[in-house]
Amino acid sequence: MSELLKAMGEHLWIVASSMVAATIIGVALGVLSYWRKKLGVFIIALAEIVQTIPSLALLALLMIVFGLGDLTLAIALILYALLPIIRNTHTALNELPPHIIDAARGMGMSRAQRLTKVEIPLSIPMIFSGIKVALVNSLSIAVMGVLIGSGGLGYIIYRGIQQRNMGRILIGAIPVILIALFFDWAMTKVQVRLSKHTNGV
């Protein structure tokens, strides 16, 4: 039991810290692609290509460069998380009604002020929904971390597979599935809450 809790803790820790990093990078790239349209097309196309790389291939390739361990898994999770976050940030910013941005401009706000005081706050529900998609995916991809020497629930599952022991596989798998379903449910609730604040726009 304590082994299971420890594995769950590791799993959540790796996923959570990767998602924090992915959010910072993803929102920054989303804003950049909003400010510079041509660069934006390139950034999103690149993130789409990264997304199509098979997870086993990406993990194995990253392992060659970064070696075995948690860091390599975290880098893979961040790379996969970028597309939903960049795309949602970019779409949210682009779909803001022009009159709001004009009003902010008319009040004499600088570009940075518009971004931090108007544009980002109004985009938060959609950015949040991108983070949700990324997080639920990451919980599942993180299982494969065991193949590159990282911890988490994947270790328990993989040992079960090697022993052809259905019970052991389930002991590792059920928490992964429940955690993913829980986050999907809880974050959808939060998202509905968040969008209530911005609906008047």
Partner 1 sequence: MKLITLFTKNGAGLLESLGVHIMLVILSVLAGIVIALPLGIYLTRHRRAANVVLAIAGTVQTIPGLVMLGFALVLLGIGTLPALVVLSIYSILPILRNTYTGITEVLPAYTDAAKGIGMTKSQVLFKVELPLAMPAIVSGIRISAVYIVSWATLAGMIGAGGLGDWIWTGLATYNTDYILLGAIPSAILAFVFSAVIGAVEKAMTPRGLRRRS
Residues binding partner 1 (CB under 8 A): 49, 52-58, 60-61, 63-64, 136, 140-141, 143-144, 146-148, 154, 157-158, 160-161, 164-166, 169, 172-173, 176-177, 180-181, 184
Residue with tokens 């769950």: 8
Closest approach of partner 1 to the CB of residue 113, in Å: 33
12 or 173: whose CB is closer to partner 1?
173
118 or 176: whose CB is closer to partner 1?
176
124 or 161: whose CB is closer to partner 1?
161
In whole angstroms, what is the distance from residue 175 CA to residue 185 CA? 15
Instruction: Give just the sign of the alpha carbon dihedral 176, 177, 182, 187.
Output: positive
Q: Phi then psi for 54, rounded to 5 degrees?
A: -55, 140
In whole angstroms, what is the distance from residue 49 CA to residue 176 CA? 27
Closest approach of partner 1 to the CB of residue 53, in Å: 4
116 or 165: whose CB is closer to partner 1?
165
61 or 201: whose CB is closer to partner 1?
61
Closest approach of partner 1 to the CB of residue 34, in Å: 19
Closest approach of partner 1 to the CB of residue 120, in Å: 26
What single string gives the DSSP state of each residue in 25-78?
HHHHHHHHHHHSHHHHHHHHHHHHHHHHS-HHHHHHHHHHHH-SSHHHHHHHHH
In whole angstroms, what is the distance from residue 178 CA to residue 196 CA? 27
Closest approach of partner 1 to the CB of residue 47, in Å: 13
